[in-house]
Amino acid sequence: MSVQRVNPPELARPRGFSHAVVATGTTVFLAGQTALDADGRIVGGTVVEQFERALSNLLGALRAAGGTPDRLVSLTVYATDLAGYRAHAREIGEVWRRLAGTDYPAMAAIGVSRLWDAEALVEVQGFAVV
């Protein structure tokens, strides 16, 4: 298995993502995760708190599938307030580095009107190669 992050110099310098990721191995499809606790309740009142829980949930599923954060190759973030998410990018980046390290997958952030649970502010979904 291998993972290579590709960031061509002719593209803008990526901050908190990679432009492309080339990987070989077994693909793990990670379901969208929100800030649900073990009892199925949304926890955290801010987008940063909810992002931390959602990412922790996603990484827990990845670990259960035999992977580690550096094996994430793609991540999509769905946010009910994209401007609010972006306003907290520095704090969200700190959460990412603490939980997942400094390897970044190819990423996209998409604004949505709501998520499955009305209290959810953010959801993360990804792919990994292990």
pLDDT, tens digit, 9 for 90 and up, residues 68-96: 999 999 999 999 999 999 999 999 999 99
pLDDT, tens digit, 9 for 90 and up, residues 21-63: 999 999 999 999 999 999 999 999 999 999 999 999 999 999 9
Ramachandran angles phi, psi of 54, nearest 5°? -60, -45
Handedness of CA 77, 80, 83, 86 (dihedral sign): negative
- Give the amino acid at 114: R
pLDDT at residue number 32: 98
- The whole-model pTM stands at 0.93
Residue 74: count of CB within 10 angstroms of its CB? 21
pLDDT at residue number 1: 83
Among 14-18, 49-53, 63-67, name the one with the lowest average pLDDT.
14-18
- In whole angstroms, give the CA distance from residue 34 to residue 41: 10
- In whole angstroms, give the CA distance from residue 34 to residue 37: 9
Residue pair 55/100 in contact (Cβ under 8 Å)? The answer is yes
- In whole angstroms, give the CA distance from residue 101 to residue 86: 20
pLDDT at residue number 130: 96
